[in-house]
Amino acid sequence: MQSDALVLFGATGDLAKKKLFPALHELVRRGKIHDMPIVGFASSDWDTETLRQHALEGIKQYGSHFDQDAYDKLAQMLTYVRGDYRDPASYEALKTALAGAERPTFYLAVPPSLFATVVENLGSSGCALGARVVLEKPFGRDLQSARELNKAVLSVFPEESIFRIDHYLGKEAVQNLLYFRFANSILEPVWNRNYVRSVQLTMAESFGVQGRGRFYEEVGALRDVVQNHLLQTIGLVAMEAPSGIDGESIRDEKEQLFRAMRPLTPDDIVRGQFRGYRDEEGVAPDSDVETFVAVRLSIDSWRWSGVPFLIRAGKSMPVTATQLVVEFHRPPVRVFARDDDDYHRTNYVRFRLGPDEVSVALGARSKAPGDDLRGQPVELFVCTEGPDEVDAYERLIGDALAGQRLLFASQQGVEATWAVVDDVLYNHPPAIEYEPGSWGPKSADRLLPPNDIWHEPGPIF
């Protein structure tokens, strides 16, 4: 059933400005929400007008289209409640602002350390009755804290009213991984250890921590993007076929896969920190927090046993791009022996997951024109990005308001991914300094199979 109100905790923050208000503006523009109270809640000394300005700036700066009419409608729905997240009286004020809404959605865009406090107060004030709650990642700091948090949230909201956001799951390109795999039969026969030599997933960002030093100090790349976005992506690439496209079937298959992932050990991880990170505001002068991480993951399943899954993510890299490459074994015999040495580097499927390009490519070799039987690398390439693509947050907020859980993470899934990284969160080699604009520490090469290389985004030949 559709929610009849939305409360944004942390409405004055960065996430609200960059992602949530632009998404709400799009939902209004497309007619998906109308005439619904949207209450911004935060501790800053703001009023409704200041919040509207904050929303307007965010929409103009970060949104895809600006539509004055949609903005005016959204502005009319917005009100601001100033409150203290820890003070029960603030939740009474919130109730008044909700003016009798029966099925509100509470969106927690606040630091994770406040999740339990806000949820408890929603429970004791009676605000939680009939409501849904949306929780931003990271959900906990490790396996133990995720379990405790799940317990705290489940004591107030039933599982079907809890929406754990991982915005990667709302991305068009990430959904296409699932679609492309299971809507075509050509991949299935080769999608296993008999044919696949390795899988590589790279999430590179050319920028640093962009003023989020304090946040990053508590998190680091492993917690920020690997435990959630990147393991969820691997989940879609490597899981078995779900029995249907309902959320439960997909979540069940992904959870099975997460449970088959071998917990990472210090040997499986290389950590890096870009030079200059320690000068960021809020960063300790002797910080060991990683801004780059590379891991070698093993999946102990019938399908994937022995196939290395190589994941790397970093800030201050040469480019901003996320790409997944499934590389197949080399042909057993070099029939066309005169071909050059990268003969083998052309058997792959490549998924470019953004941000500027969303595509699927099949890397192959084809005869080069001429008298000789010489080849050249080519890609059969499909660009899947549409002109009016729905942003991940727009899709996920729309789904949460409608009560659709398909694209949200489950308690078991979140705990299973924490279990994969749990040991190396605390037990790891020190972060190695790397030059901003480079591909991170050279020692990440030690994770690769013999004679292999890390692929840069783009065709890999």
Positions marked active-site? 229
Can you name the residues that pair with 134 across neighbouring β-strands?
107, 163
Q: 189-196: which pairs have CB atoms within 8 A and are 24 or more residues apart?
A: 190/328, 191/303, 191/326, 192/303, 192/304, 193/303, 193/304, 193/305, 193/306, 193/307, 195/328, 195/329, 196/304, 196/307, 196/326, 196/327, 196/328, 196/329
**In the bound complex, what is the minimum distance in angstroms from residue 420's beta carbon to ligand BG6?**
18
Q: Is the Cβ of residue 218 or residue 452 nearer to ligand BG6 in the bound state? A: 218
Q: Which two tokens stand for residue 362?
A: 């099949």
DSSP per-residue letters across 353-399: E-SS-EEEEEEEEEEPSSSS--EEEEEEEEE---TTPPPHHHHHHHH
For residue 438, the 8-state DSSP code is S
Q: Is the Cβ of residue 142 or residue 452 nearer to ligand BG6 in the bound state? A: 142
Pairing verdict, β 321-328 and 132-135: unpaired
Q: Which two tokens stand for residue 398?
A: 């729309």
Task: Please report, as ranges, the residues that interact with ligand BG6 according to CB under 6 A.
Answer: 167, 205, 224-225, 355
**In the bound complex, what is the minimum distance in angstroms from residue 27's beta carbon to ligand BG6?**
18
Torsion of CA 429, 430, 433, 438, to 10 degrees: 30
**In the bound complex, what is the minimum distance in angstroms from residue 359's beta carbon to ligand BG6?**
16
Can you name the residues that pair with 107 across neighbouring β-strands?
8, 134
**In the bound complex, what is the minimum distance in angstroms from residue 363's beta carbon to ligand BG6?**
24
* Cα 276 to Cα 284: distance, rounded to the nearest angstrom: 12
Shortest-Cβ-distance residue relative to ligand BG6: 224
**In the bound complex, what is the minimum distance in angstroms from residue 314's beta carbon to ligand BG6?**
11
**In the bound complex, what is the minimum distance in angstroms from residue 188's beta carbon to ligand BG6?**
29
* Cα 165 to Cα 414: distance, rounded to the nearest angstrom: 11
Q: Is the Cβ of residue 37 or residue 436 nearer to ligand BG6 in the bound state? A: 436
C-alpha distances in Å from residue 352, one per residue of 4, 184, 328, 460: 37, 18, 17, 12
**In the bound complex, what is the minimum distance in angstroms from residue 312's beta carbon to ligand BG6?**
14
Q: Is the Cβ of residue 370 or residue 386 nearer to ligand BG6 in the bound state? A: 386
Q: Is the Cβ of residue 90 or residue 316 nearer to ligand BG6 in the bound state? A: 316
Give every strand in the sheet of 78-82, ordered side by side.
Answer: 78-82, 38-42, 5-9, 104-108, 132-135, 162-164
25 by Cβ neighbours in 10 Å (0-12 / 13-18 / 19+) ranks as buried
* Cα 63 to Cα 164: distance, rounded to the nearest angstrom: 23
Using DSSP's 3-state secondary structure scheme, residue 53 falls into helix
Q: Is the Cβ of residue 105 or residue 233 nearer to ligand BG6 in the bound state? A: 233
Q: Is the Cβ of residue 211 or residue 331 nearer to ligand BG6 in the bound state? A: 211
